[in-house]
Structure 1
Amino acid sequence: MKKEEKQRLIEILGKELESATGIYFLDFTGLSAQDMRSLRTAMRKGNIKIRVVKNIVAKFALEKLKLNNLLCFLDGPTAISYVYENPILPSKVINDFSKEKEIRVKGGFIEGSLISSEEIKELALLPNREVLLQKLLFSLSNSLYTLLNTLRSPLQGFVGVLDQISKRS
């Protein structure tokens, strides 16, 4: 690969990774070309990008972005998956794909935080954002209802006592 071509690839990868909300590093050892096409297709459906790049190109792009803490993932064959919207979505796609084919997640970077392959597996098992928000709203409304009943209970008891006193008189 010529030096100019490497520089161009470094620039392109740097620009693409700069605005990504989630970056995942994958080891695709053992995957056939057909398997990689299947993975790319699954990623594309979620508006997720995936690139197989030489580690040296990725290294220079990450260094340029001052993401030196991600260099530890550039060992062996590396595919970089990244997304601009939902940073959790690639973990779900990778998890689904790994049920059929062997693929290893090296680690990732989500919204400024370094994450391990174990954390990525845990993220893949989380329900989507809408479901989590529904659960949160249900918990909050249920807690408020319980608080309201707790506060109302002594008042109702007091009214009941006054009612009994008025009936005796």
Structure 2
Amino acid sequence: MPKTKTQKTNVITKGTEELKGAANLIFADFGGTTAQDLRDLRLLLKNVGAKFQVIKKRLLRIILKEKGIDFDPKQFEAQVGTVFMKGDIFETAGSMYRFTKDKENFKILGGIDLNKAEKIEADFIKRIGQLPSREVLLGQVLGTMVAPLRAFMWILQERSRKLNG
């Protein structure tokens, strides 16, 4: 059933409010994805401070135009879901990438950096999503920094054992 003008106005108002608080957008093709999978995605994204919404392409174009962003969602031939995120793209891209690995019908189409008003390619989002989390990267750097010291301490212990024994 088609939406009434009031319903469309409400969608535009809510979308504009979401856009005000967002730093980045990611667009995804959710065609063929089950309702349960979409609920799981929404929960997953909520945990990283993002929100997934399905907004008609025409209404999404109006919302973006109000923000001064020249982007036409109709360039995507698929059904488009929009992820609004407040923070940086790294955590959300990781969650989206892990979600898409298991779902063959769900595809990342691209995105927009709202601060720079630049388009973000889908491949870039996928590559960012493949990176380990910040904590894992910090652990790897710390391990690399500590490894020479640990090796030096082992040499000193072995040397003292030889001298004492």
TM class by shorter chain equals 0.7 to 0.9
AA partner of residue 51 (structure 1): Q
Q: Per-residue deviation at 1:19?
A: 2.8
Q: Deviations over 1:62-100 (max 9, x none)?
A: 111111235355543111001112322221111111121
Matched, 1:90 2:95: no
CA distance in 1 between counterparts of 2:80 and 2:96 reads 14
Coordinate RMSD, CA, aligned? 2.5
Question: Which SS does the other structure have where 1:17 is aligned?
Answer: helix
Q: Relative to structure 1, is the Cα distance of residues 55 and 71 closer, same or farther in structure 2, using a 3 angstrom cutoff?
A: closer
Question: Which SS does the other structure have where 1:68 is aligned?
Answer: coil
Structure 2: tracts of 5 or more residues without a match = 146-165
1:114 aligns with 119
TM alignment of 1:56-95, pairs within 5 A:
56-71=58-73, 74-95=76-97
What TM-score do you get using the length of structure 1 for normalisation?
Answer: 0.71
Q: Relative to structure 1, is the Cα distance of residues 70 and 92 closer, same or farther in structure 2, using a 3 angstrom cutoff?
A: farther
Q: Deviations over 1:9-33 (max 9, x none)?
A: 1121012113311200000011111
Give the number of equivalent residue pairs. 138
AA partner of residue 97 (structure 1): F
User: Which of structures 1 and 2 has the bigger CA Rg?
Assistant: 1
Structure 1: tracts of 5 or more residues without a match = 140-169
What TM-score do you get using the length of structure 2 for normalisation?
Answer: 0.73
Question: Which SS does the other structure have where 1:88 is aligned?
Answer: helix
2:54/2:81 contact within 8 Å kept: yes
AA partner of residue 107 (structure 1): G
State the percentage of identical aligned residues.
26
